[in-house]
A = this chain, B = another copy of it.
Amino acid sequence: MSTEAAFITALRALATSSAARQLADDAAVLEIGGTRLVLTMDSIVEGVHFLSADPPETVAWKLVATNVSDLAAKGAVPRGCLLSYALSTADEWNAAFLRGLRLACETYSIPLLGGDTVRQPNGSARSFSLVALGEPAAGVEVPSRGGACVGDELWVTGSLGDAGLGLGILRGEHKAQSADRDTLVSRYRTPMPDVSLGVALAPLVHAMMDVSDGVLIDAGRLAAASGLAAVVELDRLPLSDEYMSSLGCTLTSCLFAATAGDDYCLLFAAPPRIRDDLIAAAKEQAQKLHCIGRITEGEGLVLLFDGQIIPPPARLGYEH
């Protein structure tokens, strides 16, 4: 067992409160007063979750957006956040981070409530944590990852792979036309979770989560949490024009999009009979849905491309 897997197993043994959802969901759900509070905490570390050369405005944006993405996946409206900030003496960097923080907090209507500012010793990678609190709509069950049923269809709410390709471009591993380059890089640096869409879908779905580590690894997690298997049709993954003009829509391209991570769209399972309701709910939010597979008996992932079974790649996504 890897160090992280062993650590998380040990941590789960500690997190026995039902509110913790066995640390197997995007967020905790705490009943308090007459309501429920959705709680999530994501950290980002320089050199791991963002590049040293990323503009600090976008680092702040990403920190807020990744947490808001977890709230959206639970159908929760943001109510507040707390920030732990590793302060360096780079005044301009700090000021730029704050500009990005302000923009993200205003965009997602998530007030900054508090936090902590700490010094880091010289030479340490910058490290920031954010906790976001959200409130689900009254009477609506907060969807977990584990509610999918046999026969459910699997859907995603946005194009996949753009952020991964953007990161590849920044690392010099991929190329794109200059018009596409900016779009793809911004998909990596400034993900745009859609809270309203999550809130609209929450009452309809059987299971929901956000796609943060790659749709294959995340679909596998959703299926595993539901005690079932997932079939993903790689040729049905939504790819953007910018993505396709750089990488095409071959099997290799689809596998890259399915495993790259950082998409921050929603992945959910719902029965085929409510397909029209789902599409209508998304349309009201000016969004499109993309059916990419289904839930079946069994366990693990089955990948299809052009109707053929494809062996799963060694790496299903980003493990951290």
Residues on A facing B (Cβ under 8 Å):
3-4, 6-8, 10-11, 14-17, 19-21, 23, 27-28, 30, 32-37, 39-49, 79-80, 82-89, 91, 94-95, 98, 101-102, 105, 111-121, 123-125, 127, 129, 131, 133, 135, 320
B114 near A28 (CB under 8 angstroms)? Answer: yes
Q: Can you name 19 A-B pairs with beta carbons within 8 Å?
A: A3-B88, A3-B94, A7-B98, A8-B117, A10-B95, A14-B102, A17-B80, A23-B115, A28-B82, A39-B133, A41-B84, A42-B116, A43-B118, A45-B86, A47-B121, A48-B120, A48-B121, A120-B124, A121-B125
- Of B7, B89, B114, B127, the residue contacting A120 (CB under 8 A) is B127
New A-B contacts (10) at CB < 8 Å, excluding given A20-B111, A43-B129: A14-B102, A14-B105, A15-B112, A17-B112, A32-B133, A32-B135, A33-B37, A45-B118, A123-B123, A124-B127
Rank and list the top 7 A-B pairs by shortest CB-CB distance, nearest first.
A33-B35, A33-B33, A17-B111, A28-B113, A28-B114, A41-B82, A129-B129
| Known A47-B121, A114-B40: A133·B79 in contact at CB below 8 Å | no
> What's the least CB distance linking A57 to chain B, in Å?
14
Number of copies: 2
B113 near A20 (CB under 8 angstroms)? Answer: yes
B45 near A114 (CB under 8 angstroms)? Answer: no
Determine the chain B residues whose CB is within 8 A of the CB of A8 once the complex forms: 117
Determine the chain B residues whose CB is within 8 A of the CB of A49 once the complex forms: 118
> What's the least CB distance linking A4 to chain B, in Å?
6
> What's the least CB distance linking A14 to chain B, in Å?
5
> What's the least CB distance linking A267 to chain B, in Å?
19
Determine the chain B residues whose CB is within 8 A of the CB of A36 once the complex forms: 33
> What's the least CB distance linking A96 to chain B, in Å?
11
B80 near A120 (CB under 8 angstroms)? Answer: no
Residue among A82, A83, A91 having the largest count of chain B Cβ atoms under 10 Å: A82
Determine the chain B residues whose CB is within 8 A of the CB of A11 once the complex forms: 83, 85, 98, 112, 117
Q: Within the assembled complex, what's the spacing in Å between the Cα atoms of A39 and B42?
A: 16
A114 near B15 (CB under 8 angstroms)? Answer: yes
Name which residue of chain B comes closest to A47, CB basis. Answer: B121
Name which residue of chain B comes closest to A123, CB basis. Answer: B123
B113 near A17 (CB under 8 angstroms)? Answer: yes
Determine the chain B residues whose CB is within 8 A of the CB of A121 once the complex forms: 45-48, 125
> What's the least CB distance linking A299 to chain B, in Å?
24
> What's the least CB distance linking A75 to chain B, in Å?
16
B15 near A320 (CB under 8 angstroms)? Answer: no
A20 near B112 (CB under 8 angstroms)? Answer: yes
> What's the least CB distance linking A44 to chain B, in Å?
8
Name which residue of chain B comes closest to A86, CB basis. Answer: B127
B14 near A45 (CB under 8 angstroms)? Answer: no
